[in-house]
Chain A
Amino acid sequence: MSAPPPAVEAQPKRRSGVRLEWITTPLLIVAALLAWHAYVTEFKVSPFILPRPMAVLEGWADLLRTRSTWWHSWATVYETIAGFACALVAGVIMGAVLGKIPWLERTLNPFIVASQVVPKVALVPLFVVWFGFGPTTKILLAAVLAFFPIFTNTLLGVKSIDLGHRDVMTSLNTTWLQRFRHLELPSALPYILTGMEVGIVLAIIGAVVGEYLGGNQGLGYLLIAKMNAYETDMLFAVLIHLTVIGFIFYLSVGLLRRFLIPWHESVQMERRGR
């Protein structure tokens, strides 16, 4: 009688061949490298300003072969993950609590806005005074930066729960915990994941900026060291290395999204090839 469900329609594009971006992305990268190479050789740019792309790639290969690179990478990865984890726990709990208690949110809102607009990087000297040049300072900066997108998105998620869904839960006579487990958490999850996607990138920034300013480990420290040594090609190599690490983090959260909310529009759209 009624119309067939819409999602049964055959997935377009996907089967017929490779996805568009699998071709365009490498092509665009190669094109950019060629243009870069042409510019450097044509205008005889000093390698201290802009090294040849091949030199950068060789530098990156060198970097990957060096043991200390992995040690520095691990330091940055550790600070990022630790900071992000703190931000996740604090952001989700605070977002959920303030989302549930409107008067508390109204009371704390001015302070939340104030702490939002403080340039977080300006806190680094203070953190150094309090926690020294060790990893704590960097973890803290990563956490502070990643906290706000996770917190605000969780808050939004908890506040945008469908009133009708609340009625359904009320009619089913649920306990407080059941309501949280079966309605509020799954409702807010897409929002939390969006906050996490922004937060993980900010956590890396926090860790790297923290490493600029103190200590002797991490990829941020390595960047400064290469700058001081006028090894511009290696500077670029570290930059590429950081970008790759950032990508892996970002993709991990994306994977988490597919795994945790397969029902959500954002995941369904991706599956159908946009």
Chain B
Amino acid sequence: MTAATTTEIELAGVEKRFSTPEGEVHALARTDLDVRKGEILILLGPSGCGKTTLLRMIGGLLAPSGGELRVGGRKLWDGERRDGVAVQELGIVFQDALLFPWLSIADNIALPLKLRGAPRATREAKAASLTKLVGIQGFERRWPRELSGGMRQRAAIARALSYDPEILLMDEPFGALDAMTRDTMNLELQRIWMETGRTIVLVTHSIAEAVFLGDRIVLLSPRPGRIDTLIDVPFARPRSLALQSTGEFQAIVKQLRARLEAIS
């Protein structure tokens, strides 16, 4: 029973094949993986290792070619069909913020609620509390183009959280940001995670980001994509940026880098 309640996402033999004009591509080999409730799980790997493919299947954007994928105990995919209830537990943040340019920041954040038919008062209250949570209060009435990249990504996180999904899926969410903003966003994400207690699956190709944020790191190897190593990151929370210069941190980074070089 304990195992069932602590597992949020369950992958059993999930795989993905694409047929292309050049023939079939085996993007992801049969994969078993459990994501625990409330953890930050990192998918790390070189390009072409299928980490984004894996995330898109978990996110309900891409149907697996085989295997079974459960979200909150519900089967997410039935062939090409998605389970509408399971999808509600997923919030996705992409590499680009992908805010809608014709909506104000507040309306962007509250759009998922609007699509669910929530009244205006509810939407405004939610947008107000979320802008506060992600640290962009005061920008509710601005157009997305008026905000910096980091702030837009904060708004995208707020949008993904607006309908209170249990799980936050993030596909290289800070990959398009400069290094300093990226450090700040890593700290902010940790804070948001600690305040909301969501389960997070985050794709990255930055080893430092992986070790800094992750409770566990899944290292994927390419052609076909498959799980190579799964490591636990032992550091206590909240972690500070200073952690990155400690010997223990560097040791894990080094270990992962050596493994990455060996497989790619």
Contact = CB atoms under 8 A, between A and B. Distances in A.
A216 interface: no
A174 B61 contact: no
Nearest to B91: A171
A173 B88 contact: yes
A6 B94 CA distance: 23
A182 B111 contact: yes
A261 interface: yes
B67 interface: no
Nearest to B154: A2
A263 B94 contact: no
B60 A186 contact: no
B181 A2 contact: yes
Contacts of B74: none
B118 interface: no
Interface centre among B87, B112, B115, B150 (most CB of A within 10 A): B115
B235 interface: no
Given A171-B61, A171-B90, A5 B148 contact: yes
A270 interface: no
A7 B145 contact: yes
A264 interface: yes
Interface stretch (A20-28, A87-95, A110-118, A159-167): A159-167
Interface string B104-138: 00000001101100000000000000000000000
A78 to B, nearest CB: 33
Contacts of A3: 148
Contacts of A268: 145
A261 B145 CA distance: 14
Contacts of A5: 139, 142, 146-148, 151
Given A5-B148, A173-B88, A263-B101, A168 B115 contact: no
B102 A167 contact: no
A165 B147 contact: no
Contact of A167 (B88, B98, B150): B98
A173 B88 CA distance: 8
Interface of A is mostly: helix
A268 B103 CA distance: 14
A3 B7 CA distance: 40
A3 B151 CA distance: 9
Nearest to A265: B145
A268 to B, nearest CB: 8
A265 B143 CA distance: 11
A186 B102 contact: yes
Contacts of B14: none
A264 B101 contact: yes
B84 interface: yes
Contacts of B100: 165, 182-183, 186
A171 B86 CA distance: 11
A190 to B, nearest CB: 9
Interface in B70-101: 82, 84, 87-88, 90-92, 94, 96, 98, 100-101
B50 interface: no
Contacts of B146: 5-8
B206 interface: no
A261 B102 contact: yes
B196 interface: no
A8 B115 CA distance: 31
Interface string A187-200: 00100000000000
B173 interface: no
B264 interface: no
24 contacts: A2-B148, A8-B146, A162-B98, A164-B94, A164-B96, A164-B98, A165-B98, A167-B61, A167-B98, A168-B98, A171-B59, A171-B90, A171-B91, A173-B60, A173-B87, A178-B115, A182-B100, A182-B114, A186-B100, A261-B102, A263-B101, A263-B145, A264-B101, A268-B145
Interface of B: 59-61, 82, 84, 87-88, 90-92, 94, 96, 98, 100-103, 111-112, 114-115, 139, 142-143, 145-148, 150-151, 181, 184
Interface of A: 1-3, 5-8, 162, 164-165, 167-168, 170-174, 178, 182-183, 186, 189, 261, 263-265, 268
Q: Which 8 A-B pairs have the closest CB atoms?
A: A7-B146, A5-B146, A164-B98, A186-B102, A2-B150, A171-B92, A2-B148, A263-B102
